[in-house]
Structure 1
Amino acid sequence: MAEACCPASCGELIQGLINGSEKLISCPIDWYSTVEVKQGTAHQFDERPLMRRAVKAALKHLQIDESWHQKLSIRFNSTIPVAKGMASSTADIAATAVATARHFEQELSNQALAQICTSLEPSDSTFLHQLSLFDHHRGEIHRQFEWVPDLNVLIFESPTQLNTADYHRIPRQQRLKQNENRLASAIRLFEQAIQTKDVTLFGKACTQSAIASQYILAKPGFEQFQTLIEKFDLPGMIVAHSGTVVGLLCDPQQHDPDAIFTTIHHSVLQTHYPMRYMKKLIAGGVI
């Protein structure tokens, strides 16, 4: 028996057309999908559809006879909201692939895992152990960042679902092109924030990307979230560029999350985002 855990993401810190192709930097949080792979009879009610495909993809990469998948059972434990832009599928796929490799006492490199994930669907970069600029279509890791700010993420979940495949059917190339300069500015700010370990610049970069996303997949109550950032002097906001969730960055040493949640509870945002959580921003990586 082997087990692996992969974190969720509260949308993306940055996403858009960057240096000629669509790329993202996921926002990994301490919320995990845990997958167990062991020899035994497969039961469909114990797994999600992409998990079995992830087993097959891992076996193929490891050059193990694919028929082995019929002799492996999968069990998972995940409370990550599905089809909200929180990387639930990536967490399932990556954890399953790594657990499969571990079952056979082997390992998957970052690049191998990237190729496995993106062969099944456009994927987040949460399976990597550093914040990463990632081509989520081609599985290419363009840059990794060593610093992660000490921030909490106040997560606001909408009842509306949007799965990855449906998002990628939205005509958006023209809007992506129009936002290219804004994204170039956002990624420059992000890189400067990492180099100087500046939380304020980090938040500004994320907010710029969130604003650009409004032109492609608008979030209800966006202006009210911006008002909250000013009212509570928060670093910034993040959104699921291909989903419906919104996050506010919050310094655990400076900000009172209960006060922010209470303010939202008594505002129009309560209607749009009735479910709320607080998680910690992490570097990411399958464990």
Structure 2
Amino acid sequence: MEAVVHYPASFGEIIQGKIKDKDILCSCPIDLFTEVKVFESKKAKSKYNHLKSSNFLSNLLTEWGYKDYVKNFDIEIKSNIPEGKGFASSTADLCGVYYSLLKLFKKEFKEDEFIRNCINIEPTDSIIFKEMTIFDYKEGKYKRKIGNYCEFNILVFEGNRIIDTVEFNKRSLPPLSNIEDLGEMLIKAVENNDIKTIGCCATKSIIRNEKRLSYPILPLLLRIKDEIGGYGVIGAHSGDALGIIYEGKLNMKILDKYSNLIKGYKIYNTKTIKNIDLGV
């Protein structure tokens, strides 16, 4: 008895800040994935390498009245999602566990149940939804679905810092900046599939909230973005990755003149995806 689910990462957040006095974010899934297998085992041990996922499984089965089953299930995770960089790797793992358990126990999806159990583990990315959603990632008390996910490319600059989402959000941090205007701008952009405006929203969001997590490379990326014709800079507000949103092809040779300034960063391309295919 086993179930396997593939679930995508996100790349940071398009926007993050305060709307209606709530700390919110809005993300898009990308083409990096976790593969989660939940299976029966008399000697479960792999799940203890994935404590967040293991705790999620235990909490959910207990809530369903299957507490005695907890010891009989194990979890294996294979992932190409960078950890601790702002790619929602833990959220993707929790989603994989949830959909696996739904299949194994023939349960129906319940959005409130899903949200509650994810947030009980850690602040949760909005890729738990099947469409683009402005989401209160700490308490789950506000969500606004704004349309289908959009497709665009991201030139990634991944740094070396590892940031734990739970610990980061426990710090005494400056408050998030108000982004009511960016929320409305993003809603219209998604309605019109306007990637340039989405890029603009992302750039303003990361700049407004830089007081919470500084990116020494940000001024340089803003310059590179202009030179290569990118639409904006998107970032992880609690991670170590920035990216340039673009469509079409880029002249990567432009990066050569900045090679000394971007040493230590892993540079590669990823792209957002329109649909979350569970792969079950």
Match of 2:222 among 210, 221, 226: 226
Counting only pairs closer than 5 Å after superposition, residues 110-189 of structure 1 correspond to structure 2 as 110-140=111-141, 142-173=143-174, 175-176=175-176, 179-180=177-178, 183-189=179-185
Aligned to 2:237: 241
TM-score by length of 2: 0.91
Aligned to 2:37: 36
Q: Partners of 2:256 and 2:30 in 1: how far apart?
A: 22
Q: Partners of 1:260 and 1:96 in 2: how far apart?
A: 42
Q: Does 1:268 align with 2:264?
A: no
Aligned to 2:58: 56
Cα deviation, residue 57, structure 1? 2.4
The unaligned stretches of length 5 or more in structure 2 are none
Cα deviation, residue 170, structure 1? 2.7
Q: Partners of 1:206 and 1:188 in 2: how far apart?
A: 13
Q: Using a 3 Å threshold, how does the CA distance of structure 1 residues 262 and 31 change in structure 2: closer, same or farther? A: farther
Deviations 1:59-93 (A, max 9, x none): 134x2321201111211111211111111111111
User: Which amino acid in 2 is paired with 1:79?
Assistant: N
Q: Using a 3 Å threshold, how does the CA distance of structure 1 residues 102 and 262 change in structure 2: closer, same or farther? A: farther
User: Which amino acid in 1 is paired with 2:109?
Assistant: L
**Higher alpha-carbon deviation: 12-21 or 106-115:** 106-115
Q: Does 1:212 align with 2:222?
A: no
SS in 2 for 1:84: coil
User: Which amino acid in 2 is paired with 1:161?
Assistant: I
Q: Partners of 2:81 and 2:255 in 1: how far apart?
A: 20
Deviations 1:162-211 (A, max 9, x none): 101221123234x42xx21xx12221221121223222211111111011
Match of 2:250 among 247, 256, 259: 256
User: Which amino acid in 2 is paired with 1:53?
Assistant: N
SS in 1 for 2:127: coil
TM-score by length of 1: 0.89
Cα deviation, residue 141, structure 1? 5.1
Q: Using a 3 Å threshold, how does the CA distance of structure 1 residues 65 and 161 change in structure 2: closer, same or farther? A: same
Cα deviation, residue 240, structure 1? 0.5
- Is the 1:3–1:99 Cα contact (8 Å) retained in structure 2? yes
Aligned to 2:82: 81
Q: Partners of 1:263 and 1:150 in 2: how far apart?
A: 29
- What is the RMSD computed on CA atoms of the aligned residues? 2.0
SS in 2 for 1:107: coil
Q: Using a 3 Å threshold, how does the CA distance of structure 1 residues 128 and 286 change in structure 2: closer, same or farther? A: farther
Q: Partners of 1:263 and 1:153 in 2: how far apart?
A: 20
Q: Does 1:278 align with 2:272?
A: no
Aligned to 2:199: 203
Aligned to 2:5: 4
Q: Partners of 1:238 and 1:105 in 2: how far apart?
A: 38
Q: Partners of 1:278 and 1:46 in 2: how far apart?
A: 32
Q: How many residues align?
A: 276
Amino-acid identity (%):
25
SS in 1 for 2:58: helix
- Is the 1:235–1:250 Cα contact (8 Å) retained in structure 2? yes
Q: Partners of 1:129 and 1:262 in 2: how far apart?
A: 39
